[in-house]
Amino acid sequence: MLSRRNVRIKVMQMLYSMSRDSNLGLNEVINRYRSSVQKSFELYLFNLLSLMRITGYASQDAAKKMAKLLPTEEDKQFTAKLGDNGLMRSLTVNEGLQGLFRKFKLSHRFDTDNVRLFYTDFAKTDEYKDYLLQEEGDEESHREILLALYKHLLNSESYNDFVEDNFSNWTDDKSLIAGAIKKTIKALPATEDFYEEYRPGEETTEEFGEKLLRRACEDDEELLSIIEPTLRNWDADRVAVIDMILLKMALCELINFPTIPTKVTLNEFVEISKLYSTDKSKDFINGILDRLMKQLNKDGKIQKKGRGLQE
């Protein structure tokens, strides 16, 4: 589930923590990085459980409508099909998934008030009202309403606040998780171990992420010595902390990862700078990295495996 860009951002955040706390050692930072990677998977599960809890609330809504002394015709025709359909049942009966919810203690983070709020807010939408007017429907109609519900949640300030209160990485990982949840919905009914696809991949998080983090830490002084001559009229101390971290990471990646194309490295770090640094950072980083690549190529320090990986 985690892309290399997601991993680069997590590594950047770890290096920033080290720059702010001189007592923070490499081993502790690596443990924090691993925890951050794990939190992304937990965040995926949390969003999935949110969807299950909110759709499940339709049963309580149905019970309340039928318990009225004078239920309306609309009340009598109401069904709890939002949660009571084959797609959602494939999640609720999945023992492996339920085991993960217990393992990460996700269920206790929900309370009835939150779930009711999210459900009743969505119940006011035209999409849900139209869905209720349909016959029992096929899988596609259930799938469409689940996608509509999740889109509604993503645009809900109260839902975003709720998730962020539970997971501080929500802002950074939101687009990643949203894509994974939508993919999961589109693939319903769920297979027995569908969630394994969304676990952090060893190749991306360890072979790439941990190695990048270690080398950036261990080679910090050497990386700075390579960067400084390219700064020209800039003093290294005047470069924004995030910009310097991104430059060191990019340099580290150019030198130590022979299968990643140089153009990919350059573009990725420029894009990350747009998200996490100043308005002018993208041009600054692009210019410095361009100079660095020319110098490193001249010195033979960039060795790429495969045609077209090196410029």
pLDDT in tens, 286-311: 999 999 999 999 988 888 765 555 55
Same domain, 173 and 279: no
The string over 173-183, giving b where at least 16 C-beta atoms fall within 10 Å of a residue's C-beta and e elsewhere, is bbebbbebbee
Q: How far is CA 53 from CA 119, 138, 149, 158, 292, in A?
A: 9, 21, 12, 16, 52
Return d(Cα 94, Cα 285) in angstroms, integer.
47
* pLDDT value at 216 more than 90: yes
- Quick check: 310 and 302 in contact, CB under 8 A? yes
Residues in the chain, overall count: 311
Residue 208 domain flag: no
Return d(Cα 237, Cα 135) in angstroms, integer.
67
Same domain, 153 and 250: no
Asked which of 146, 166, 198 is the last residue of a domain, the reply is: 198
DSSP structural state of residue 124? T
Q: What is the pLDDT of residue 158?
A: 98
Residue 212 domain flag: no
pLDDT tens sequence across 62-73: 888 878 888 787
Same domain, 159 and 260: no
Same domain, 153 and 74: yes
Work out the angle at residue 273's Cα, subtended by the Cα atoms of residues 177 and 275, and round it to the nearest 5 degrees.
40
Q: What is the pLDDT of residue 235?
A: 65
Confidence of residue 234 (pLDDT cuts 50, 70, 90): low
The candidate with the shortest Cα–Cα distance to 82, out of 61, 65, 112, 101, is: 61
Mean pLDDT, rounded, for 14-21: 96
For 87-113, give the DSSP string: HHHHHHT-HHHHHHHHHTT-GGG--HH
* pLDDT value at 201 more than 80: yes
pLDDT tens sequence across 42-63: 999 999 999 999 999 999 988 8
Residue 203 domain flag: no
Same domain, 151 and 268: no
Same domain, 136 and 284: no
Same domain, 289 and 142: no
Q: How many domains would you assign to the chain? A: 2
Same domain, 160 and 247: no
Residue 206 domain flag: no
Mean pLDDT, rounded, for 89-110: 97
Same domain, 245 and 188: no
Amino acid in the structure at residue 208: F
Residue 214 domain flag: no
Number of other residues whose CB lies within 10 A of the CB of residue 143: 18
261: containing domain: 219-299
CATH number of the domain encompassing residue 223: 1.10.940.10
Q: What is the pLDDT of residue 310?
A: 53
Q: Higher pLDDT residue, 77 or 138?
A: 138
- Structure tokens given for 305: 């495996």
What three-state secondary structure class fits 172?
Answer: helix
Same domain, 121 and 80: yes
Same domain, 151 and 29: yes
The candidate with the shortest Cα–Cα distance to 47, out of 131, 129, 136, 149, is: 149
Same domain, 134 and 277: no
Number of other residues whose CB lies within 10 A of the CB of residue 58: 22
Asked which of 132, 163, 198 is the last residue of a domain, the reply is: 198
Residue 307 domain flag: no
Residue 67 domain flag: yes
The candidate with the shortest Cα–Cα distance to 10, out of 23, 27, 31, is: 31
Q: Higher pLDDT residue, 201 or 161?
A: 161
Asked which of 140, 167, 198 is the last residue of a domain, the reply is: 198
**Residue pointed to by tokens 């009229």:** 233
Residue 309 domain flag: no
Q: What is the pLDDT of residue 238?
A: 75
Q: What is the pLDDT of residue 279?
A: 87
